Every structure is written in structure tokens, then in C-alpha cells.
């Protein structure tokens, strides 16, 4: 069921995803082609905002803060999984793997590698502050528009 809180949560996490994407870019080598990086992350933010944060709205501000942090962590994990899977598929087409199991294991390895690479103070602060503010704004929307 669509609600105003779900819409606010989706928009808020999409904005957080955009700013976090911009904070991640300097951590990679200069000249790196990011393509539609911001747009994909914004779409992931919209989805996680709607499904995770928006569906838990209306339980109070302390729960909203916690839900916002949970949604941001979930959004980050989904993004890491998406990019690791994309990289695995690119490598698989170049016949980098000997068998399918090796390719599946590589997804986890690459996601961990990407996660360590983006674990930077600015990125973490952007995600946590954005998640907390998203949770608060979602709670305000849930209380205001029932």
C-alpha cells in the first residue's frame, strides 16, 4: 500500500545514495569511468527507502533513527552485491573463471573488497547522518499524513 511515509523514505534514501556516490568517487583511481554509478545507486536508494524504511514508519522517533541506519546499511549491502555481481559477469564473459562455483564465490570476495575500499570516514558519515535524517523525516511524514 503506497503511503506518504514510503514516498518520503524513498526520496530521502535516494538523495543519500546520490551524495554517498559522490563521496565514493574520489576513493577510486583518477580517470575511472563511473558511467551511471550515481543513477544506479539512486535507484537502489529509492527501492530500499520504499521497502525497508517506509514500511517501518510510524513507530516513533527512536525507532525511526534505528530504521534509518538499518536502511542505509541495507542499501549499501545491496549496492555492493549489485556491483560485485556486475563485475563477476564481466569477468565471466572473459572466461576468467573455471567453474560456476568459483564465479559465485567471487561475488562475495569482490563485495568485501569493494566494501573495504569505500570504508572511508566521509562516506560513513554521509551514510549514517543521511540515514538518521531519513528516518526522522520519514517518521514526521508518517505522523503528519496518516
Encode pLDDT of 56-83 as tens digits.
998 999 999 999 999 999 999 999 999 9
Which pTM does this prediction carry?
Answer: 0.91
**CA gap 143, 63 in Å, rounded:** 13
The rounded Cα 124 to chain-centroid distance in angstroms is 12
Would you say residue 31 has pLDDT above 90? no
Residues 38-49, mean pLDDT to the nearest whole number = 97
- Res. 12 pLDDT band, cuts 50 70 90: very high
Cα dist. 13→21, 105, 112 in Å?
12, 29, 22
* pLDDT of 7: 96
* pLDDT of 141: 95
* pLDDT of 1: 82
* pLDDT of 42: 98
Of 97, 91, 115, the C-alpha closest to 27 is 115
**CA gap 119, 60 in Å, rounded:** 30
Q: Are 58 and 139 in contact (CB under 8 A)?
A: yes
Amino acid at each position: 500500500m503506497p503511503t506518504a511515509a514510503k514516498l518520503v523514505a524513498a526520496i530521502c534514501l535516494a538523495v543519500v545514495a546520490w551524495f554517498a556516490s559522490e563521496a565514493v568517487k574520489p576513493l577510486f583511481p583518477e580517470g575511472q569511468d563511473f558511467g551511471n554509478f550515481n543513477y544506479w545507486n539512486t535507484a537502489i536508494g529509492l527501492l530500499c527507502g520504499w521497502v525497508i524504511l517506509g514500511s517501518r514508519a510510524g513507530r516513533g522517533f527512536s525507532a525511526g533513527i534505528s530504521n534509518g541506519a538499518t536502511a542505509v546499511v541495507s542499501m549499501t549491502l545491496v549496492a555492493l552485491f549489485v556491483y560485485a555481481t556486475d563485475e563477476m559477469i564481466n569477468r565471466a564473459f572473459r572466461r576468467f573463471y573455471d567453474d560456476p562455483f568459483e564465479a559465485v564465490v567471487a561475488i562475495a570476495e569482490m563485495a568485501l573488497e569493494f566494501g573495504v575500499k569505500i570504508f572511508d570516514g566521509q562516506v560513513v558519515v554521509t551514510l549514517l547522518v543521511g540515514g538518521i535524517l531519513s528516518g526522522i523525516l520519514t517518521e514526521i511524514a508518517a505522523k503528519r499524513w496518516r
